[in-house]
Structure 1
Amino acid sequence: MNGPNPQLLKDLVEMKMPFGKYQGKQLCDLPETYLVWFKQKGFPQGKLGMLLETLYEIKLNGLEHLLSPLRKGSY
């Protein structure tokens, strides 16, 4: 079984939400309720949608600890 993609996890802590209520907020800091809304309405197309869906699964399954070592200042 393969582990999580390190680049994908890095993107989740470095990329910022490009639009909407949480514009400018790091993806990893988006509230779970916002991700649930996207799950119900449909994730955006492309890389952003894939990242948001991955983050949804991470938060749903209590795996946020995977992101902790990648956050700035955690090295």
Structure 2
Amino acid sequence: MVGGSPGGEQLRLLVTRTMPFGKHKGTLIADLPGNYLNWFAREGFPPGEIGRLLALMHELNHNGLASLLDPLRPGGRRGRRGGA
């Protein structure tokens, strides 16, 4: 991220990278439930890239912007929260 703004590559990783551990192992970062992201926000995000991605997803989710990721998904499909 440059200047605190996420770049296209970080956003793309949210819809391609899966959670590597825990209760939601194997779930796309973009599809993690809000309460799980909120837990990390309270308890602390893990170090490294996964922590940065989780923090970014938390911000998008918290601000109601998760649907902005839909065009970046393979095939442009909607996420778990997107419905339809």
> What TM-score comes out, normalization by structure 2 length?
0.82
Candidates 17, 21, 35, aligned match of 1:15: 17
Q: Give the Cα–Cα distance (whole angstroms) in 1 for the partners of residues 27 and 16 of structure 2.
A: 10
Aligned pair count?
Answer: 75
Corresponding residue of 1:45: 47
C-alpha distance 3-52 of structure 1, shift in aligned 2 (>3 A): closer
- The one-letter code sitting in structure 2 at the alignment partner of 1:59 is N
Candidates 29, 32, 47, aligned match of 2:31: 29
Q: Displacement of 1:73 after TM fit?
A: 1.6
SS of 1:67 mapped into structure 2: helix
Q: Give the Cα–Cα distance (whole angstroms) in 1 for the partners of residues 43 and 6 of structure 2.
A: 26
RMSD, aligned CA = 1.9
Q: Give the Cα–Cα distance (whole angstroms) in 2 for the partners of residues 35 and 17 of structure 1.
A: 11
Aligned sequence identity (%): 46
Which of structures 1 and 2 has the larger relative contact order (alpha carbons within 8 angstroms, sep 6+)? 1
- The one-letter code sitting in structure 1 at the alignment partner of 2:15 is V
The answer for unaligned runs of 5 or more in structure 1 is: none
Candidates 40, 61, 70, aligned match of 1:68: 70
